[in-house]
Structure 1
Amino acid sequence: MHGLVQGVYFRHFTLQEARRLRVAGWVANQPDGSVRVVAEGDEAALRRLLDFLHHGPTGARVETVQSVWSAASGNFAEFRVRYL
């Protein structure tokens, strides 16, 4: 996600939503000021998470969301905040 997405609790809100949806993966701030999310789970849950990411928490201003769909790796047991 690009826009005003760092410093507005975006990672924390994404973590809560992903866990509520029972999606596994991670969310991390990127050096360029964006936020990256890698998620695996039920397609319907992933689409709901993607909808959430277009809006984010109060205070965020999401300008663009780029999504790439691929086969699940099965490498994630839970959703967490990742620190790069």
Structure 2
Amino acid sequence: MIALKIYVSGIVQGVGYRAFTKRIAQSYGLTGWVKNLPDGRVEVFVQGDKEVVWEFLKQLWEGPPAGRVDRMEILKEVPSHEERDFTIRY
């Protein structure tokens, strides 16, 4: 299992990016969360099988049709046993 925190920059707020991220994560069976940050970025915490998480990252880079990802900062994290699903945080 791998856990990552991802900071996504670009046109990622107000375009359905969080809902897109949740839908993709759930389709892959991943756990974690996604939330908007005050500076316009989106923060994602995701955990799961390494190969599946890397496929998820490719989808995050694509984003929803109305959005545009300019940059993704990816940090390794310690897996959390608290996460049982993938949620949107507010």
TM-score in terms of structure 2 length: 0.88
How far apart, in 2, do the equivalents of 1:69 and 1:49 lie? 15
2:35 is paired with a residue of what secondary structure?
strand
Identity of aligned pairs, percent?
A: 36
The answer for the alignment partner of 1:32 in structure 2 is 39
Number of equivalences: 83
Q: Structure 1: which 4+ aligned runs deviate by more than 6 Å?
A: none
How far apart, in 1, do the equivalents of 2:19 and 2:34 lie? 9
1:69 is paired with a residue of what secondary structure?
strand
**Among residues 8, 16, 31, which one is paired with 2:15 in the alignment?**
8
Greater strand content: 2
Alpha-carbon RMSD: 0.8
TM-score in terms of structure 1 length: 0.94
